[in-house]
Every structure is written in C-alpha cells, then in structure tokens.
C-alpha cells in the first residue's frame, strides 16, 4: 500500500527531529525513481529516502545502506548542482495531502542565497519528486508529465507548480469529532469502510478497515444506530488525539507466509489468524523493514518460480506414469488364468483341431470341476495355442515383478520431489534457494551451478524449549542429512512427521537418559516438527520420534530419505505462535 496522509504527518515530524537544520552533503539516485539525501551538520546525521516508484512510493528517514550506481543519472546531477550544501529549513505537508515539501536554503550559481523546494508526491502511480524554484516554477522532476499523459495537471520544467486537484473531503486535522463522524454517516450506504474512504481525507483503506472493525465488526448494517454512532465518534476522537499528541504506534501486518501485508501508524486489530502484527519505534524503521521484507519476498518468489515450475512438471509426469503402471499391474493380477488354460489345452490336445475359435474344457483345478471356455487362435495348432497361453502367462508374470519395482522407484521419487517442494515453500533466503538448487543439480534435475558460484549454507533453525533443551531443524534435504547423520549424537532424539514431507528435527539431549527428559520437551519438539512440515495447517499431525542411533540411510537413497525402527509416535497440533516464541528464546 502507499503511505496515507496521516502516516506522512508522523514521517514529517521524524524528519524534522532528525534532519531540520542539517545540510545536504551527498545526493544519490539509486534508480530512475529513487533518491537518497545524506544530511549532516548542526548535530544532524541521517539519510532521507525518497521514492516515486508506483509500487513503493515513500519518504522517510532511513538507516539502511544502499549501493550507488557508478554513473549518476541526469536528475541526480541536477540535484547535486542545486541542493548540495543546502540547509533544510522546513518540512511542510498540505492539509491531509500525500505531499511533503522540503524547503532548503541554497546558493545560486552566482553566489546569491536562494530557497528551493523538493516536493515529494506520494500518490501511487502518479507519485513524483519535483524540484521547485523560488517563484514556484518547476526546475525538473523525476517524472515529466506532458499534455498527452494528463490533461488535468502537467509537470514540466518552467511550468508553475500546482497542487493536485482537491478531493473535497473532510480533514481530521481541522474538523471536529462530531463533524467527522457525521460526514461518515452522511456517506453511509451499508458499507462503513467505503463511507469512511469517501468522507475523510488522507486515510488509507487499512485505517478505514480499522474504523469498520471497531464500529460494527464488519457486520453489514442498513443504518448506523446510536450505539454505532457513539463508537464511531469515540474512534475518530482517539484518532485525532493520536495526531495531535504525536503518539503513533508504527505497525506492520504479515500474512500466513510471513509476507508483509500492510502497514499503518495505528496498532491494527482488524486482522486475525493467520495474520500477525509487528511493532516498531519509528515510522522510518517501519518503512525500512516493510519494503525491504516485501522486496525480498517478491524477489524470492521470482527466483524460486522456475524451481516450483520444474518440480510441479516432474511431479505431474511421475503421477501420470504411476497411474499407468498401476493399471498395468492390475491387468497382471489375472495372469494365472493363462497358465491354467495352457495346462488344460496341453492335456486335451487329442480333442482339439486347428481352426477352432474357442473350446470348452473341464477345469480340473477347480473343486467344482466346472467347464471353462478358452478362446483360441484359429490360425494356430492346438499345441501352438497352448504355448501361446504359457508365453502370455510368463510375460505378465515378468511384467508384474518389474512393475512393482518401477512403481516403488517412482513413488520414492515422488516422495522426494514433494519433500523438495516443501523445503521451497519454507525457504526464507537466497542461500536457501541456492542450496536447494544445488541439491536438485546433484540429482540431475537442473544444470549444475557454475564452478565459481559458491553457496554458503545457513545454519539450521534453532529453538530453545521451555525446559532449556535446544532443538535444531533442517532447512532442506541436504541440511536434513547433515543434521541427522553428522551433527546429531547417537543419544539425541530425532523427530519427523509420519508419512508427510517435512524437516528433520533434532532434540539435543547432551547425553541425558531418554526417560529423564520431561514430557513437555517431547511435546514441544513434536509441535516444531509438525509446524515445519507440509502438514503445517492441519488440525492434528502424527509425529514419529526415536533415538538418532536408530536412524539409517539406505544405500543410494535420495537426500533427506532415511529409515528407522523402535520409534514412538506423538499426536500434536502445529502451532506457529509457539515456534515463534521458542525461536525468540535464542
């Protein structure tokens, strides 16, 4: 989502506190639409990040480091020419507008003092960064907008800067609580979320959603009753108090895949399971984290897309092959019939003649001695028909033996690909993807990585149980093998979901006797194993566990595949919140 005007209000206050009175020492343009201004002097030392990207427009104080392009773009050179050494005089935001003006005291080419303004317009695909001269004329902008692009408002060098057209909505900065609540009620048509968006200026959909959640808990109403109106006035009053007192609660919402979903200056309560909220001290920290994690998530999705596609393609192919082989195996189940026919024909050759299409003979293999009709090939002699039945029997018998081996082999490959797919869904970094790609290359599914490309495997996931025991969790099949077969000691305890792809989980016992370990430790380790598996969303999962010394890896087995005996089973429910808490203990 883009920043709303209310969030920008707090961003402006943070910029004032961090950069007001400082001077621009460096200007870098990271991309066509992203800038970083380094401020220092007069007790100031910070960086301002400005973005006009349609999918990530923003302005805030940043703590992150960015890689600068070797050749600065033309707009960057222009800003360096006009703004380097400029002192930040003021940070202005028009009432309830998603626009921030940064006023700088600069020096002209002939040494005269001049005041320049950098306008940051945070308006989705219409976002822009504009340098404005003393008389309000545009010097240049990141995005030039001519008449062919907009008939309402052009942004070109030499033109007079104008604010975007007003939306004629009520401002929470100037309106009273009663006026704001009544404006929302006047726009109400059964959808409080939409009414709030129509009536109030500068609020984002997530803030409108918070209003609807508090007032009516997302229930559809024909009209706002007195109780709802009281709740609406109370919420708007609290919102205005936060704006006046400058006490935001920067909050980020993450979805069930830990991907950033939304952000706000409010402590959001409208999102339930599987969403979770994360809080920050400042809006700058919130924006840094939100967009960094969102970009990482999308980059991971893009880079893992080819692997997901490959695994799905291979899986579908194997499934089709297994279905055909299982059907052939069913056909082989009737093979004994041909052996019996061959025996009956061989014992009755004197009764048969060439040219017969079928014959009925008594089945002396059956206790009832009933007659059975045997189809014949009229082109063959009776002896040849008997031999034909024997050959058919041997062919089906051989096919059954080979099919059973092929089906077992295909099922093992299918199980392996499902385990890789599960690892991919839980990969959280590019190092994880690189190791999974390396694993697939070792199995011949993808081309091997270039010899110069080095992958640094990440450490296993680590959890500390409430009883003080440490649990390690493999991130992928290669790490599962490393963890179970090399890292773990014989007396440690191994956990894995029963018949479901998942991570190998090791409970480190430090040599403590199996029976002395508390039951809660077993339960929490089993929950960790269930959560880090394909069964994550299930209600109840069976988890097998045993001593590591009982784990064996069959010869030529694929990565992550092991066998074991003397195991116990636990029945648990996956719990992501518990895992996050136990991970925080580390």
List, for residues 375-397, the tens digit of each pLDDT value: 998 899 989 989 999 998 888 88
C-alpha distance from residue 566 to each of 76, 295, 506, 548, 550 (Å): 68, 46, 16, 11, 7
34-41 and 493-497 strand pairing: unpaired
- DSSP string computed for 370-414: -EEEEE--TTS-HHHHHHHHHHHHHHHHHHHHHHHHHHHHHHHHH
Task: Answer for the pair 420, 436: CB distance below 8 angstroms, yes or no.
Answer: yes
Q: What is the pLDDT of residues 343-353, one digit of tens each?
A: 888 888 888 88
| Residue 451 in this model has a pLDDT that exceeds 70 | no
Rounded to whole angstroms, the Cα distance separating 19 from 62 reads 11
Question: At 536, phi and psi to the nearest 5?
Answer: -45, -45
The residues, ordered by sequence, that sit 6+ positions from 467 with a Cβ below 8 Å of its Cβ are 518, 520, 521
Q: What is the dihedral of CA 122, 128, 129, 131, to 10 degrees?
A: -120
Q: How far is CA 95 from CA 39, 101, 163, 206, 301, in A?
A: 26, 12, 12, 20, 39
User: At 169, is the secondary structure helix, strand, or coil?
Assistant: coil
Of 461, 519, 465, 526, nearest to 500 (Cα)? 526
Tell the burial category of 109 from Cβ atoms under 10 Å away from its Cβ (0-12, 13-18, 19+): exposed
- From residue 65, alpha-carbon distances to 283, 371, 376 in Å are 17, 89, 84
For residue 397, give Cα distances in angstroms to 353, 388, 487: 29, 14, 46
pLDDT > 60? residue 200: yes
Look at residue 340 in the predicted model and tell me its pLDDT: 86
Paired with 341 in beta bridges are none
Instruction: Give the DSSP letter of residue 161.
Output: P
Q: Give the residue carrying structure tokens 């009883």.
A: 467
Structure tokens of 359? 């014959």
pLDDT at 429 over 80: no
Span of 277-286, 292-301, 303-312 with lowest mean pLDDT: 292-301
Q: What percent of the chain has pLDDT over 70?
A: 97
Dihedral of the CA atoms 492, 498, 500, 504 (nearest 10)? 0
Q: Is 359 helix (H, G, I), strand (E, B) or coil?
A: strand
Tokens of 146: 């001519």
Separation of alpha carbons 85 and 217, rounded Å: 52
Q: Which residues contact 23 (CB under 8 A, 6 or more apart)?
A: 39, 40, 41, 42, 44, 85, 86, 87, 88
Residue 57, C-beta contacts closer than 8 angstroms, at least 6 positions apart: 2, 3, 51, 121, 122, 123, 124, 127
pLDDT mean over 161-176: 90
Q: Pseudo-torsion of CA 165, 168, 170, 175, nearest 10°?
A: 90
What pLDDT, in 10s, does the model give residues 96-114? 899 999 999 999 888 899 9
Cα separation of 4 and 18, whole Å? 21
Unique residue bearing structure tokens 């061959």: 342
Q: What is the mean pLDDT of residues 32-50?
A: 90
Residue (of 117, 101, 108) closest to 82 by Cα position: 108
Q: Is 41 left (phi over 0), alpha (psi -120 to 50) or beta?
A: left
Residue-range domains of the chain with CATH = 5-141 (2.30.310.10), 177-289 (no CATH), 333-414 (no CATH), 461-584 (no CATH)
Output the average pLDDT for the chain: 89
What is the four-CA torsion angle of 412, 415, 420, 424, rounded to 10 degrees?
170
- pLDDT classification of 430: cutoffs 50, 70, 90: confident
**pLDDT band at residue 224 under the 50/70/90 scheme:** confident
Q: What is the DSSP letter of 67?
A: P
Average pLDDT over residues 548-564: 92
Query: What is the C-alpha to C-alpha distance for residues 342 and 474, in angstroms, rounded to an integer?
Result: 57
pLDDT band at 203 (very low <50, low <70, confident <90, very high): very high
Helix axes 205-216 and 192-199, enclosed angle (nearest 10): 130
Q: Do residues 199 and 211 make contact, with C-beta atoms less than 8 angstroms apart?
A: no
Residue 532 sits at φ, ψ, to 5 deg, of -95, 55
User: How far is it between the farthest Cα atoms of the chain?
Assistant: 126
Give the per-residue pLDDT at 455: 56
Q: For residue range 325-341, list pLDDT tens digits in order.
A: 888 888 787 788 888 88
* pLDDT of 160: 94
Least confident of 179-193, 447-461, 499-513: 447-461
Ranking 278-287, 317-326, 418-427, 558-567 by mean pLDDT, the lowest is 418-427
> Residue 272: how many CB atoms within 10 A of its CB?
8
Question: Which two three-digit tokens encode residue 159?
Answer: 């033109």
**How far is residue 77's CA from residue 66's CA, in Å, rounded to a whole number?**
18
Position 332 scores a pLDDT of 82
Mean pLDDT of 270-291: 89
Q: Do residues 430 and 457 make contact, with C-beta atoms less than 8 angstroms apart?
A: no
Exposure string over 544-562, b if 16+ CB within 10 A, otherwise e: bbbbbeebeeeeeebbbbb
- Between residues 258 and 436, which one has the greater pLDDT? 436
Tell me what the mean pLDDT of segment 206-210 comes to: 93
Residues ≥6 apart with Cβ < 8 Å to 85: 23, 24, 25, 106, 107
β-strand pairing of 493-497 with 541-547:
antiparallel
What's the confidence (pLDDT) of residue 369? 82
Confidence class for position 216, pLDDT limits 50, 70, 90: confident
The pLDDT of 480-491, averaged and rounded, is 94
Compute the distance between CA of residue 183 and CA of residue 176 in angstroms, rounded to an integer. Answer: 11
Quote the tokens at residue 87: 């002192």
CB 128 within 8 A of CB 107: no
The continuous run of DSSP H or E covering 564 comes out as: strand 563-564
């Amino acid at each position: 989502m883009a920043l709303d005007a209310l969030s920008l209000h707090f961003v402006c206050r943070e910029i004032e506190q961090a950069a007001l009175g400082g001077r621009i020492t460096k200007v870098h343009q990271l991309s066509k639409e992203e800038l970083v201004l380094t401020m220092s002097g007069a007790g100031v030392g910070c960086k301002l990040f400005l973005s006009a990207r349609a999918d990530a427009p923003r302005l805030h104080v940043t703590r992150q480091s960015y890689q600068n392009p070797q050749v600065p773009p033309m707009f960057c050179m222009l800003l360096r020419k006009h703004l380097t050494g400029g002192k930040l005089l003021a940070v202005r935001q028009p009432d309830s507008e998603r626009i921030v003006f940064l006023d700088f005291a600069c020096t002209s080419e002939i040494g005269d003092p001049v005041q320049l303004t950098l306008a940051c317009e945070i308006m989705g695909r219409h976002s822009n960064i504009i340098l404005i001269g003393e008389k309000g004329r545009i010097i240049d902008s990141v995005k030039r907008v001519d008449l062919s692009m907009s008939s309402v408002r052009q942004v070109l060098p030499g033109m007079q800067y104008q604010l975007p057209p007003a939306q004629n909505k009520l401002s929470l900065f100037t309106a009273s609580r009663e006026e704001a609540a009544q404006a929302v009620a006047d726009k109400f048509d059964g959808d409080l979320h939409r009414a709030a968006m129509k009536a109030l200026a500068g609020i984002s959909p997530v803030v409108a959603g918070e209003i609807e959640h508090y007032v009516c808990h997302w229930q559809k109403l024909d009209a706002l009753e007195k109780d709802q109106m009281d709740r609406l006035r109370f919420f708007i009053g609290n919102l205005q108090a936060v704006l006046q007192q400058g006490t935001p609660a920067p909050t980020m919402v993450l979805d069930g895949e830990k991907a950033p979903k939304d952000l706000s200056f409010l402590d959001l309560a409208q999102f339930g399971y599987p969403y979770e909220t994360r809080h920050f001290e400042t809006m700058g920290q919130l924006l840094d984290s939100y967009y960094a994690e969102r970009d990482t998530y999308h980059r991971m999705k893009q880079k893992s897309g080819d692997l997901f596609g490959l695994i799905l393609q291979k899986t579908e192919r194997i499934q089709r092959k297994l279905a055909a082989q299982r059907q052939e195996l069913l056909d082989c189940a009737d093979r004994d019939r041909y052996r019996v026919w061959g025996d009956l024909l061989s014992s009755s050759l004197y009764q048969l003649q060439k040219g017969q299409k079928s014959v009925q003979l008594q089945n002396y293999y059956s206790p009832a001695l009933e007659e059975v009709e045997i189809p014949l090939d009229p082109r063959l002699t009776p002896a040849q028909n008997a031999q034909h039945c024997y050959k058919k029997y041997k062919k089906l018998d051989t096919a059954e033996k080979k099919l059973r081996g092929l089906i077992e082999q295909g099922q093992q490959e299918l199980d392996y690909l499902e385990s890789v797919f599960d690892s991919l869904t839980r990969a959280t970094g590019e190092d994880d993807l690189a190791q999974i790609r390396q694993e697939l290359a070792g199995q011949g599914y993808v081309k091997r990585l270039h010899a110069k490309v080095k992958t640094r495997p990440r450490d296993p996931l680590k959890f500390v149980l409430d009883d003080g025991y440490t649990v390690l969790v493999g991130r992928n099949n290669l790490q599962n093998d490393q963890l179970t077969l090399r890292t773990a000691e014989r007396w440690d305890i191994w956990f894995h979901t029963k018949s479901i792809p998942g991570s190998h989980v090791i409970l480190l016992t430090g040599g403590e006797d199996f029976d002395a370990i508390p039951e809660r430790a077993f339960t929490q380790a089993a929950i960790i194993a269930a959560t880090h598996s394909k069964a994550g969303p299930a209600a109840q999962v069976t988890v097998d566990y045993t001593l590591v010394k009982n784990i064996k890896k069959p010869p030529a087995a694929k990565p992550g595949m092991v066998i074991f005996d003397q195991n116990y089973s636990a029945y648990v429910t996956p719990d992501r919140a518990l895992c996050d808490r136990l991970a925080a203990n580390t």
